[in-house]
Amino acid sequence: MSATGKASLVPAVNNAECPWDLFDSESYQQRNYATLHELDQIIIPKLAGFFAKQNLGSDLEAIDVGPGTNLYPAMSMLPFTKSITLLEYSSTNIAWLEDEIGNYRESWNAFWRALADSSDHYGAIADPGVLLKKVADVQKGSIFDLKEGRWDLGTMFFVAESITGMRDECAKATTRFVRSLKPGAPFAATFMENSRGYVVGGHTFPAVAVTEADVRTLLRGVAGDIELHHIRSPHLFRHGYDGMMLVTGVRSDTRSEPSREPGWTTIGRTGRRDRQHAAR
C-alpha cells in the first residue's frame, strides 16, 4: 500500500532499478501530447501567467529537468531565455528530443497557441519551433547530480514523484531541482497526485503517491512565494492517479546543508509515484 492507503500498481523500487533506456518515447508522446489535453489547457494559462508577471527579461539561462517527450515546459520559457538546457536521463528520450526539436511537429502549435492566448510575451514570437531549435540544448544527466545555484529559471514537470517508488528519492529530486536555481529564481513544477505507477510500452514504472501536504513539506526551506494549484478533470490520462498539481515559486536565498536537504525523511521512506525522465 502507498502512504495514502491506496494500492500501488507496482512494488516500490529505487530510481536505478528502472528500465529508463527501454522507455517507449513515441508511444508515450502519442498517448499524452499528440493533442492538447483538457488538463494541459488548465495548466498552461497558469504557467504562462506566472512567468509573464516575473519581469524576467529575455536573456536568461534556463533548465527543464526531465522533459521526457513534453516540449511545452521548455516552450513556456522561450520569451525569457537565451538558452534552455533540457536535462534528460533516458537514452530513448534523448534521441527522441533531439529529433523532435530538429523536426518540430505541427501538433505543438496547439500548445503554443494556448501559451500565446495567455500572455503577449508568447504572441510576439513568430515561429516557436525555429526559436526552440536555436536555444535548446539536450543534455544527458541525472536530477540527482544537479549543481547548486546554476540556473536563472526552471521547470520540472511530472519528474520527482515519477522516477522512483522511494519517498526519500522523490524528496531528494525535488530539492535538487530547486537548489539548482539561483536564489530568487522562479520555477514551475508539476506533480501527479497520489499516483500508483504507470505502464509505457509494456514496461511498468514506479511512483510515489504525493499529496499537497507532501509537496509543501518538500519545498519548505528551499522555496518561497509558493502557489499550488490542483489540476483536476473527469477526463484523466489513465487510471492510477487522482489528479495533478502545478506549483510555482522562487528558490529561497539559503544554501542547502549536505545530507540534510529538506523533506528527505519528513514524508517517510515508503510509497509510490509516476516517472523518471519520462512522465504522466
Q: Per-residue pLDDT for 214 more than 90?
A: yes
Domain spanning 15-251, CATH class:
alpha beta
pLDDT exceeds cutoff 80 at 116: yes
- Residue 129, all three cell numbers: 519551433
Question: What are the distances in angstroms from CA 3 to CA 20, 52, 156, 268?
Answer: 25, 36, 23, 8
What's the distance, CA 182 to chain centroid? 18
pTM, rounded to two decimals: 0.87
User: For residue 130, what pLDDT band results from cuts at 50, 70 and 90?
Assistant: very high
How far apart (Å, rounded) are the C-alpha atoms in residues 167 and 172?
A: 9
In this model, does residue 206 exceed pLDDT 90? no
Please determine, for residue 72, whether its predicted confidence score (pLDDT) is greater than 60: yes
Q: For residue 240, name the pLDDT band (cuts at 50, 70, 90).
A: low
Q: Which residues pair with 84 in a beta bridge?
A: 62, 136
The mean pLDDT value for 54-60 works out to 96
Average pLDDT, the chain: 86
pLDDT at 73 over 50: yes
pLDDT surpasses 60 at 267: no
**Smallest Cα–Cα separation from 219: which of 165, 262, 186?**
262
Return the percentage of the chain with pLDDT > 90, whole number. Answer: 68
Give yes or no for residue 233 having a pLDDT over 80: no
Question: Is 155 within 8 Å of 246 (Cβ atoms)?
Answer: no
Q: Rounded to whole angstroms, how far apart are CA atoms 75 and 125?
A: 11
Confidence of residue 255 (pLDDT cuts 50, 70, 90): low
CA distance 229 to 210: 14
